[in-house]
């Protein structure tokens, strides 16, 4: 099972590097929540969630390649590659049938990842997540690529900071910058090249959430997810910018905990 620490428990399988695992508080798992971070983000985004989740909910915080303990690995080259590998990793970690029901939460880039993983779970196994929560990003069919990944370093950092300040001071450190920028640029390249022509609706309920002052995701963007479910859809806007979910973590989870 690995070693329990401040960052969670890492499973022992060959692909266990994909997840930081926070066991359910009472040891009995009725639901597994899989979290997918933003571009340039890490599994640490979800570190505070475990203590706020209801009894019986286990948290799997996804760690994309190219950062922190996976720094030596190249970033995924495409959304197809990333979603395929994450779905493979879930299968390896949880075994046939994936055990307890799943819920998925993705923020920004992670919203698209959550959508694509949900599709693969249904296509491969007929598994429909209990809920897919998308945060801070419009639906795949309305997003129109971009060229941020082609910017020089200073312009790329400035663009990222324009969405909100979540630990962006680390990019000012000359020792850390060359370690962190490749994953930020690689993630932007991945999401800006992600252009599904006709995204299929999910069978899972979809909840769209965002910050009222997010310059990159409007209420209309959140509403764009409505056609991408054949089940129920709802949305909620919280105070804050693109990274509203950090200062308003308690409020967000109070809302979501009523839904799983």
Residues labelled catalytic: 108, 242
Q: What is the DSSP letter of 58?
A: E
Q: Is 134 helix (H, G, I), strand (E, B) or coil?
A: strand
Contact 39, 108 (CB under 8 A): yes
Q: Return phi, psi of residue 224, to 5°.
A: -65, -15
Helices and strands in the chain, H and E counts: 6, 7
Rounded CA-CA distance 26/19 in Å is: 20
- The residues near 114 (Cβ < 8 Å, ≥ 6 apart) are 34, 36, 104, 105, 106, 132, 133, 134
Distance CA 15, CA 90 (A): 9
- Largest Cα–Cα separation, the chain: 49
CA–CA separation, 180 and 59 (whole Å): 25
Name residue 233's beta-bridge partners. 206
Give the other-Cβ count within 10 Å of 202's Cβ: 22
For residues 257 and 49, the answer to whether their CB atoms sit within 8 Å is no
- Identify the H or E element spanning 213: none
């Amino acid at each position: 099972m690995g070693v329990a620490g401040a960052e969670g428990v890492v499973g022992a399988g060959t692909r266990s590097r994909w997840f930081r695992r926070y066991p359910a508080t009472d040891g009995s798992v009725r639901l597994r929540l899989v979290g997918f971070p933003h571009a340039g983000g890490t599994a640490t985004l979800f570190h505070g969630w475990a203590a706020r989740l209801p009894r019986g909910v286990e948290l799997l915080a996804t760690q994309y390649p190219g950062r922190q303990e996976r720094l030596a690995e190249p970033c995924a080259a495409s959304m197809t590659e990333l979603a395929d590998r994450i779905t493979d990793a879930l299968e390896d970690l949880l075994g046939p049938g994936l055990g307890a029901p799943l819920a998925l939460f993705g923020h920004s880039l992670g919203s698209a990842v959550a959508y694509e993983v949900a599709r693969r779970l249904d296509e491969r196994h007929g598994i429909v997540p209990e809920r897919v929560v998308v945060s801070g990003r419009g639906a795949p069919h309305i997003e129109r690529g971009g060229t941020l990944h082609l910017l020089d370093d200073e312009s790329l950092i400035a663009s990222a900071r324009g969405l909100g300040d979540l630990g962006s001071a680390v990019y000012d450190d000359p020792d850390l910058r060359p370690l962190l920028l490749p994953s930020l640029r690689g993630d932007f390249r991945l999401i800006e090249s992600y252009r599904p022509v006709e995204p299929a609706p999910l069978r899972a309920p979809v909840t769209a959430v965002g910050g009222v002052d997010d310059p990159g995701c409007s209420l209309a963007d959140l509403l764009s997810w409505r056609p991408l479910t054949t089940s129920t859809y709802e949305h909620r806007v919280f105070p804050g910018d693109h990274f509203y979910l950090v200062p308003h973590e308690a409020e967000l989870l109070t809302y979501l905990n009523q839904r799983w």
